[in-house]
Structure 1
């Protein structure tokens, strides 16, 4: 039943995409050739237009299919869906441009640009509408997949809590099988224990389900092999939740390498399109910030030069992504002999500061040259603040998971900073905020942090 519904739902999405792509193409044609934009070389021939439309209606659905946009993913968020549509639309547009360039006379690039924008908006809107309707249907108790959880321990309870906490995804736990001494009739998280694992065949015969989720702790893995042999004789979907959460540190998950499934306990969030998107975001915003802040930087440079002897800028070694060191740029706020006796962390009322240094640090004006660090690729606009290598070894010994903050580029501002964790605040708390940022990163989150920074996020009582 569910496989038939899946095919039906997929056909609806494909049909909706074809309709939206056709509409987007027609709207783009009207915008380019029937609007106020001058047409210098005449209208394209209808056969060329229809051939371009046919190319679009083949390439785009194929690209969406390769991007797994026609695979039902109940766990994918709305923002995740839109971002996947965006990536696939950009890729499909590039393919269409390449095909029209190399296979026949060039078609209007401006029209294809309009089409890409309209297609992205239209397809995204339809996808979000379909998801909203389905989510509401599932909340009302329709289109649900029944789940049998095997395991009554902590891992099994976590599965139940996750399923029950996301009813809009369309799953419902109908029973639990125990591996221990729990007797049928008991309850786990208000879900009935319907039998023992050795009775799985009888339970499935009496209470058919759509999915079986095996949530067995490591010490009871011996029971999994005979269980899998029994389930292999049935058509029910089988999922396994590995008891590895205690070892997962950052961006863990299931990966595939040449058809070989691999469980990743520690991964890198900035790969592929994520890395490209963040880099483009950084460069564009850094260029804008440098243009807007140029007059302020000029005034700060004059103030530093007129109030103390020494260079305008101070280049200090810091540790960035993957443990690589770089030299961070700042306007100098301390005397040139500030560290003749060794490295020291800044403190409140630091006597080493220059006359203008206190003011610059309070309002974070000394940080402005770091936009050049962003352009050179040493830093990002948003990320964990970089520390000096001389202090890092001590932090790594004292604070668990400290090293994970170096999985991304250091930032001018960050989630910890806009929440007041600057200066001599708790390093442990800062790491918690840094890792939260890394685990939940998105371009929207970066934009939110930048906006809060611009609206006063750096005006902290701990800034000195």
Structure 2
């Protein structure tokens, strides 16, 4: 028999219907607008509509709009819909400017079409979500769910499920063989594992999550073997999945299944999306800030001797050395193996340099690094090479920061972990926030960080 892949990449059972609904909303919105204004459906409208459908579907797939993991994160779904429509509008607007002389369509038609498409796609999701919640509260088609293993993993799983009414689960309880004093506080076990298996065989459980420790591999295999004589849907939730997997993804290499443990979040079309974001934001920033660049350059020359720009060696994507640009703010040009971080009242910092650093203006030349492709606008802040070599030995998962390009600003910085890291605890917190950013990355998250960066810079704290 020809071997087949054991695992399949999971997706929502209704993924095709969701795509069909979105594309139908966009299409019929245009038809409605044209008919409402007594216009004729010309070839130009058809070409524009087909282009819009292709762009929308491409962006939606790139932002994982239809992935099943979005169940239980409804606000994230709505934010993703907004991000998809904004991104699609920007791309279509760019195409329209490029083909300006090829199509002659009234702007009010296009604007009304865009708003109508967005409103309809937004509305059907809200209605679907509310219907799922109402059905669950009314007890319609609920599935009896149990957790085998009263562990911290099981507690986390229960917490997630208890906040997702739309899942349609009726929680039966926890099953475990261990004594009460060995269980996490707050968990109540209704019976042992043997009873759980018997209940499953008697049809009293529809879905069972096994959350035993990964060290109990033989016991898990034995339980799975006993459950093979039931019709229960069985899921195994290893503890390491909840903390150590970064963008875990199932892939197939020939006929062999592999689960990614550490992986960049920018896969496939997401690489292009991230690069498009970086180019667009950096170009706009450079154009708008050009008078500021000139003013800072002149002031630097007049207030202290030395070059205007300062290059520092940093680790970039995949740990490769890059040269990061900054406006010079010190009397020294340290970029050696041993780099001392700036501290409060640091005598190396010039008077004008202190002003630049306090307002984060010394970082502005890094928009050119972004434009050249060495950095991103948003990402983990790059550390000195010597600091990298020091902390990678002290902090677990430290080098995972380099699965993405370093950024001018990041989630750690807007969350209060910017400036001097004079203790190991401070650096650990910064790394923790950096890894959270990588795990949760989205275009919408980047926009949120950019907005928070402006507010954070106004506070002028923790930067010397």
Query: Normalising TM by the smaller chain, what interval?
Result: 0.7 to 0.9
Any residues of structure 2 matched to 1:250-329 within 5 Å, and which? 250-257=245-252, 260-329=256-325
Give the corresponding residue for 1:378: 374
Deviation at 1:327, TM superposition (A): 0.8
Q: How many residues align?
A: 431
Deviation at 1:190, TM superposition (A): 5.9
1:249 aligns with 2:244: yes
Residues 301 and 459 from structure 1, CA distance in 2 versus in 1: closer, same or farther, beyond 3 angstroms?
A: farther
Counterpart CA distance in 2 for 1:142 and 1:319 is 55
1:26 aligns with 2:38: no
Does structure 1 retain, via aligned residues, the 8 Å contact 2:133–2:166?
A: yes
Does structure 1 retain, via aligned residues, the 8 Å contact 2:201–2:229?
A: no
1:352 aligns with 2:348: yes
Does structure 2 retain, via aligned residues, the 8 Å contact 1:211–1:237?
A: yes
What SS does the corresponding residue of 1:356 show, helix, strand or coil? helix
Any residues of structure 2 matched to 1:97-246 within 5 Å, and which? 118-119=116-117, 121-139=119-137, 141-180=139-178, 193-197=190-194, 199-200=195-196, 202-245=198-241
Give the corresponding residue for 2:414: 418
Residues 361 and 128 from structure 1, CA distance in 2 versus in 1: closer, same or farther, beyond 3 angstroms?
A: same
Residues 419 and 201 from structure 1, CA distance in 2 versus in 1: closer, same or farther, beyond 3 angstroms?
A: closer
What SS does the corresponding residue of 2:419 show, helix, strand or coil? coil
What SS does the corresponding residue of 2:240 show, helix, strand or coil? coil
Which string of whole-angstrom CA distances, capped at 9 and with x for unpartnered residues, describes residues 238-270 of structure 1? Answer: 111124348x43525351315654333322222
What SS does the corresponding residue of 2:274 show, helix, strand or coil? helix
What SS does the corresponding residue of 2:392 show, helix, strand or coil? helix
Residues 152 and 22 from structure 1, CA distance in 2 versus in 1: closer, same or farther, beyond 3 angstroms?
A: same
Structure 2 stretches lacking a partner, 5+ long: 1-11, 92-101
Does structure 2 retain, via aligned residues, the 8 Å contact 1:157–1:188?
A: no
Counterpart CA distance in 2 for 1:291 and 1:54 is 34
Which string of whole-angstrom CA distances, capped at 9 and with x for unpartnered residues, describes residues 61-81 of structure 1? Answer: 999999894979634544346
Give the corresponding residue for 1:103: none
What SS does the corresponding residue of 1:222 show, helix, strand or coil? helix
Residues 383 and 17 from structure 1, CA distance in 2 versus in 1: closer, same or farther, beyond 3 angstroms?
A: closer
Any residues of structure 2 matched to 1:59-70 within 5 Å, and which? 69=66
Work out which structure has the larger RCO, using CA pairs closer than 8 Å and 6 or more positions apart in sequence. Answer: 2
Deviation at 1:358, TM superposition (A): 1.7
Which string of whole-angstrom CA distances, capped at 9 and with x for unpartnered residues, describes residues 32-66 of structure 1? Answer: 984xxxxxxx9637xx9899999999999999999
Deviation at 1:159, TM superposition (A): 3.0
Counterpart CA distance in 2 for 1:54 and 1:276 is 21
Deviation at 1:357, TM superposition (A): 1.5
Residues 208 and 288 from structure 1, CA distance in 2 versus in 1: closer, same or farther, beyond 3 angstroms?
A: same
Give the corresponding residue for 2:449: 449
Residues 443 and 25 from structure 1, CA distance in 2 versus in 1: closer, same or farther, beyond 3 angstroms?
A: same
Give the corresponding residue for 2:462: 462
TM-score, length of structure 1 as denominator length: 0.76
Counterpart CA distance in 1 for 2:369 and 2:302 is 25
Residues 390 and 154 from structure 1, CA distance in 2 versus in 1: closer, same or farther, beyond 3 angstroms?
A: closer
What SS does the corresponding residue of 2:323 show, helix, strand or coil? strand
Counterpart CA distance in 1 for 2:161 and 2:323 is 47
Residues 298 and 62 from structure 1, CA distance in 2 versus in 1: closer, same or farther, beyond 3 angstroms?
A: closer
Does structure 2 retain, via aligned residues, the 8 Å contact 1:316–1:327?
A: yes
What SS does the corresponding residue of 2:396 show, helix, strand or coil? coil
Aligned residues: CA RMSD: 4.4
Give the corresponding residue for 1:97: none
Counterpart CA distance in 1 for 2:334 and 2:50 is 69
| Most deviating of 348-357 and 359-368 | 348-357
What SS does the corresponding residue of 1:398 show, helix, strand or coil? coil
